Amino acid sequence: KDAGLPMWSAVLLYDFEFYMDFAGYTHIALGSAELFGFHLPENFNLPYLSRSIREFWRRWHISFSTWLRDYIYIPLGGNRCSKARKYFNVMMTFVVSGFWHGAGLNFIVWGTLHGIYQIIGGLLAPAREKLTNRLHIQQQSKLRTLLSTLFIFCLVDFTWIFFRCHSMRNALSVINALMHNGTASFLQLVSEQFSNGLPGFWLVIGCIALVMILECLQLHFGRLYPKWLHWNGLLQWACIFLLLIFVAICGVYGPNYSAQSFIYAKF
């Protein structure tokens, strides 16, 4: 039996499951604080639209990345030192980030991979800029932005395998399943969903697409505040009621649904 098919779907969808779960409960906390008059800073800023690993960490779990910068990276010397020492500081910072999540080797590998990504990105930056200048590729061209975003998404997606699995053995098993007829499995996954039309699958894909569309709009136009927030009376409450129904339907879906605690709560 080809194990690549379910693994492809699990690995690709875990990115969004973890992000929406983590960012979701963060937004609940922010909203609850606002009710009592406290304004807390954002903890996520469209991380999956990043064009580099460095940018990803400026957008992902901002409170944690800021803590790593202020209490690990800068005390080690930050970037005010030789290039070799700077990259050592980067690597140590991300190794600590792995230890912070757990003592398992899988978490250490997860942090180390992000450190390696950062170092390779820094080393290749001059060559990358020379290449784009020779090819006359504009810095903000849509094609470059799209390809960079997809590439960074794939790199981050790979690291989540180690973060999600409970051990290195499990992580390597997942990677082996992806490598086993991987391309054919991914194409099979897409073709089966188009042919069978499984409603659960398309509900998930539809919600992911909606979130990503809203994030793209927010990236280009700034934070989106719906006009109905400024309405008064019946129309405003009708919109709130419809929104609650939508959340209830999408949040409690399927006969095998069971409430789970937030994924990041165990950290």
Secondary structure (DSSP) of 167-208: SHHHHHHHHHHHHTTHHHHHHHHHHHHHHH--HHHHHHHHHH
The catalytic position among 27, 39, 61, 101 is: 101
Q: Which two tokens stand for residue 65?
A: 């990345």
Q: Is 101 a catalytic residue?
A: yes
In a domain, 163, yes or no: yes
Instruction: Note the pLDDT tens digit of each residue in 144-178.
Output: 889 999 999 999 999 999 999 989 999 998 888 88
Is residue 160 within 8 A of residue 18, CB to CB? The reply is: yes
In a domain, 47, yes or no: yes
Please say if the pLDDT value at position 25 is more than 90: no
In a domain, 87, yes or no: yes
> Could you give the number of structural domains in the chain?
1
Is residue 50 within 8 A of residue 149, CB to CB? The reply is: yes
A 10 A CB-CB count for 73 gives: 20
Instruction: Note the pLDDT tens digit of each residue in 59-118.
Output: 999 999 999 999 999 999 999 999 999 999 999 999 999 999 998 999 999 999 999 999
In a domain, 222, yes or no: no
**Parent domain of 114:** 4-188
How far is residue 40's CA from residue 224's CA, in Å, rounded to a whole number?
A: 18
In a domain, 251, yes or no: no
Whole-model pTM? 0.82
In a domain, 202, yes or no: no
Compute the mean pLDDT over every residue in the chain, rounded to the nearest whole number.
Answer: 82
Is residue 151 within 8 A of residue 51, CB to CB? The reply is: no
How far is residue 178's CA from residue 185's CA, in Å, rounded to a whole number?
A: 8
Show the CA angle centred on residue 251, arms to residues 203 and 218, nearest 5°. Answer: 70
